[in-house]
Structure formats: C-alpha cells, structure tokens
Chains A and B, each alone.
Chain A
Amino acid sequence: MTESAPVSKSEKPKVAFYWCASCGGCEEAVVDLAEKILDVVAAVDIVFWPVALDFKRKDVEAMPDGAILASFMNGAIRTTEQEEMAHLLRQKSKVLVAFGSCAQLGGIPGLANLSSRESIFQTVYHESPSTVNTEGTVPKRFYRENGFCVTLPGFFDTVQALDQVVDVDYYLPGCAPTPKLIQQAIETLLSGALPPKGTVLAPDRALCEECPRKDSRPEKLTLTAFKRPHEVLIDEQKCLLAQGVVCMGPATRGGCEALCPQGNMPCTGCFGPTSRVRDFGAKVLSSLASIMDSNDEKEIERITSTIPDPVGTFYRYSLPSSLLRRKKLVASPVTKA
C-alpha cells in the first residue's frame, strides 16, 4: 500500500465539488461552513475540488463509475469543457447535486442568453471601452505553432442549467446556498435516507412566509410605481413591496430565512420557484403586474415602464431554465468546420 496514492483508500464516502460558469461565490459558501467544515471533512473524503485541492481531471477519470457518493456542481454550462465535466462527474457519482442558482436555473451567467455568441465576442474582444486589441485577436479553439496544437474549450451560443445537459438528482438553491442548507444537504445525503429524485433541498414555501416584515404587508397591496432600492429611503420594518420596492418574495422559494429583506434589500429571486411553478419569471411578472393600481391602459403602461429591464428583473437567475430559454436568435448561419 503506497502512502502517496492520489486517492485515499479509506472507506469514507467520497465527495466532489466542481465549478462551471459561476463567480466563485458557491465555493465561498462551502468555506462559509466555517468550523463545521471539519465535521464534513471528518465524515467524507473530498476527492476532487479544483478550487482548494490538487486533484486533476485524470484522477476522476481513473475512478470506477459511481465511486463518488455525491458531486456538487455549481455554475451554469457555458463551454464544452464544462459539459464534458458534467458528463464525467455524472458517470462517476451516485448522486449529482446542482449547487446554487447557476447550476439549478442558469443563474446570472444565463442572462447572456439575451445576446448571441457573436455579439458577446464582438463586445468583449473588440468594442468594450477597456479593450485594446489593435491586432483583432480572438480566441480560437485550435492554434498550431511549431508543431504543437493548443486548444480551448468551445463556447456555446446558449447558456444552460446543469439539468439541461445531464441528469440531476437534487438541487441546492441560492446565490449562494446558505451554510445551513449546505450542511443539511450533506447530512441528508450521509444519512442514506434520500429524498425523492428531483427534490429541491429547501422548504417548498414562498419567502414571504419566513420574512420578518410579513405582518406589515397590507391585505390589499397596490402600487402606482415600482421602485429600485436606490430610489427610495427604505423603512427597515415595513414590507418592501408595500414601499413600492420590487421584491420577489411572494414568488420565490424560501429557505434563506429572508437574508436580503433582513439586510434592507428586496428579494431578487435567487432561490427560484416553488415546486408548482414551471417558469419563475412569468410567475413573478404575474404577481407584480396584478398589483398595479390602475385599470387604464395608458396608466398601466406608465407603471410598467418603471421596471426598466423586465427580463433582467424577472429572470435574473433563471433565464436558461425558462420556457423560452433564450432570446430568439436572428437567423445567422451556424458555421460548421
């Protein structure tokens, strides 16, 4: 038995973490377990975690199928490399958990589905004010020099949620998931008493239910304008919607214990929908639009216009998993090699 074997020989269940198109906040959330991460490490072997540990893709490839108890993947699927890793970890894991809003719903990176790949590359490599690219260099998938070939992952036109690429067992919602939910999820997985496949590992109730401002919400709520947080001096006790601030609590799944409303900021919907809703943004739209205080078309139009960016507001975390998934591509020919 060699001491330097890359994969531990102990019988502890194996766990992997991986990130795709994400900001790194979900990795932070694992670290935010603080001293409780020691309990996790005591109970499991972390066999793959590129952010923190030096294991390589080939180490994962060397494992037998299903060798990992659970893989936690955060981030949306933006590149071919991420898609490959999703397939690899799916194959090697008994349980695959979509970790955080981006993996569950597409997340903030998913708003790129309002643009095409061409326009993204145009902005990033040519047009943005901070770009200096006089030679017009753009990334290529393959580049040959001196007999060597360098490769880069392919860049999809459309950002996808994890379950649009591979089969997902559970979802851990949030941007990022709270330490409490992460800990509960790990405990549940280790207990062996697994919830039904497809379960979102958070309570199935609207956020308003757990909001400390709940009691100040008027019975009949009507608004003559939607306000963004910088446009109003927010009262720290009163229901945010009642103050005219766009708060998505009524349509968003609870479980975060109203962290944002407690910090005097409205809910932006990162926990996604409850189990009975298919398209989160449409449901937010429905609940906010119906409280507009007018029956007159012109006035309704005016109130509507106080939300300057409806798609970005309602689908902030969920555009790729919405019914329409992306802005309609104008017929541009797909270049094939």
Chain B
Amino acid sequence: MPEEKNKSQRGPQNGFEPKIVAFFCNWCTYLAADLAGTSRMKYAPNMRVIRLMCSGRVDPQFVLEAFAKGADGVLIGGCHPGDCHYQEGNYKTLRRFEMLKRVVKEMGIEEDRLRLEWISASEAERLKVAVNDMVEKVRALGPLELGTTAEHFPEEVMVS
C-alpha cells in the first residue's frame, strides 16, 4: 500500500528529517535568522522560513494549513513583548497562540510541534538554540502524517 511506503521512507530508521515551517516577523526574528546566516552559524537545516511583516499576521489558518499539508512542526517567531514594531501585534499573537495550542492538542497533535518564540534581531544564538531544540523534539516524535489518513478515506470503511 502506498501510504505504508511513505511511512517507512519518512520513518526514523531511514533518517527522518522533520519539516518545520517557521513564520517569522520582518523586524525581529527574521533579522535574527539573517544574522545567524551572515555570522555563518550552523544549525539544523529543517526549517522553511516564511517572512511576515508581524507575527500578528499569523492567522491560525496558516498554522493548521501547514500541519495539514505535511509540516511536522510549526514555529512562530516574533519580537519580545513590548518591542513590537506595530505596538501590540505580538500580544495578539500570544493570545491566539494560547488558544490555538489547546485546539491543536485536542486534535491529537503533540504540543512540541507548535512553538512560539520571542527572538530579537540581535539574538541569532537564541534562534539557533530554539531551532535545534525544536528539531530534536520533533524528530523524537516522528512524522506527523495527517495527510495519509485524509487521503485514504475509502479504506477506512468498517469491515468485520
């Protein structure tokens, strides 16, 4: 069966590499990632960064879509509380994140797969540590694989 093939390809025994989708704000965390790059820091290459003007732009739909389309983890990065370029965008992020965390958990997705970090433009080291830590935690959890269940509805018919 095709999905079993996919599973084994992505399984830990075959060197599973987590896919992490990251939403970073333009003013802080994205600049930290930029700094990490120009400073030639080495960290886990599992992250796909999407730059947004503010972490407050992270619609919960973005996070759920990332999970639905194959991300194993989602990392949101914004400015430290009080430092938001738009005054209070990151506070709205925090409020939505706290609520979204509960929804995601109730949907059976492990807590370590969704993470919020405040990282300022100068904190490249902090970014490196956070990404490495998240990749390790998600690697330990294994692939999320929501898609396989969604694509194979007809096979889920009760047979007894």
Query: Hey, which bits of chain A sit against chain B, CB under 8 A?
Result: 80, 114, 117, 138, 140-141, 154-158, 160, 164, 277-279, 281-283, 285-286, 288-290, 292, 294-295, 297, 300-301, 304, 307, 310-311, 314, 322-330, 334-337
Chain B residues closer than 8 Å to A155, beta-carbon distance: 157-158
Contact A304 B81 (CB under 8 A): no
- Given A289-B96, A297-B94, A323-B64: A310 and B103 interface contact (C-beta under 8 Å): yes
Residues of A within 8 A of B99 (CB): 285, 288-289, 304, 307, 310
Contact assessment for B155 and A334 in the assembled complex, using a CB-CB cutoff below 8 Å? yes
A148 to B5, CA, bound (A): 40
Contact of A289 with B98 in the complex, beta carbons under 8 Å: yes
Q: Is the CB of A285 within 8 A of B96?
A: yes
- The reply to whether A328 and B159 contact each other, CB–CB distance below 8 Å, is no
| Chain A residues in 8 Å Cβ range of B157 | 80, 154-156
Q: Is B35 an interface residue (CB 8 A)?
A: no
Q: State whether B149 touches A304 (Cβ < 8 A).
A: no
Q: A295-B81, A324-B67 are in contact. Are A140 and B160 (CB under 8 A)?
A: yes
Provide the residues of chain A in CB contact with B88, threshold 8 Å.
Answer: 295
B109 interface residue per 8 A CB criterion = yes
B43 within 8 A of A: no
Q: Is the interface of B mostly helix, strand, loop or mixed?
A: helix
| Cβ distance B80 to chain A, nearest Cβ, rounded Å | 12
Nearest Cβ in chain B — how far from A237, in angstroms?
A: 28
Q: How far is the CA of A297 from the CA of B157 in the complex (A)?
A: 44
Chain B residues near A281: list those with CB within 8 A. Answer: 103
Minimal beta-carbon separation of B111 from chain A (angstroms): 13
Q: How far is the CB of A304 from chain B (nearest CB, A)?
A: 5
Given contacts A300-B94, A311-B103, whether A278 and B61 have CB atoms under 8 Å apart is yes
Contact indicator A285/B103 (Cβ below 8 Å): yes
Q: Can you name 7 A-B residue pairings with CB atoms under 8 Å?
A: A158-B149, A283-B60, A295-B88, A323-B68, A324-B146, A327-B106, A336-B155
Bound-state CA distance A336–B108 (Å) is 25
Task: Please name the residue on chain B nearest to A113 by beta carbon.
Answer: B107
Let me know if A279 and B61 touch, CB within 8 A: yes
Distance (whole angstroms) from the CB of A99 to the closest CB of chain B: 22
Minimum CB–CB distance from A248 to chain B (whole Å) comes to: 14
Determine whether B102 belongs to the interface, using a CB cutoff of 8 Å to chain A: yes
Closest to B155 in A: A334
A158 and B153 form a contact (CB under 8 A): yes
Distance A261 CA – B72 CA, assembled complex (angstroms): 41
Which B residues touch A154, using CB under 8 A?
A: 157-159
Q: Are B96 and A335 in contact (CB under 8 A)?
A: no
Q: Which residues of B contact A80 (CB under 8 A)?
A: 157
7 closest A-B pairs by CB: A328-B108, A157-B156, A154-B157, A282-B60, A289-B99, A323-B64, A155-B158
Nearest CB in chain B: distance from A65 CB, A: 23
- When the two chains form their complex, are residues A141 and B158 in contact, meaning their CB atoms are under 8 A apart? yes
Across the interface, do B100 and A285 meet the contact criterion of CB distance under 8 Å?
yes
Cα distance, A140 to B81, chains bound together (Å) = 58
Please report which residues of chain B, range 66-112, place their CB below 8 angstroms from some CB of chain A when the two chains form the complex: 67-68, 81, 88, 91-92, 94-96, 98-100, 102-103, 106-109
Cβ-defined contact, A334 with B94, below 8 A? no
Bound together, the chains give a CA A140 to CA B60 distance in angstroms of 41
Task: List the B side residues contacting A336 at CB < 8 Å.
Answer: 155, 159
Bound complex: CA of A281 vs CA of B65, how far in Å? 13
7 extra interchain contacts, Cβ-Cβ under 8 A, other than A114-B106, A285-B100?
A154-B158, A282-B100, A285-B60, A289-B96, A304-B95, A304-B98, A323-B67
Contact flags B117-160 to A (C-beta < 8 A → 1, else 0): 00000000000000000000000000010100110010111111
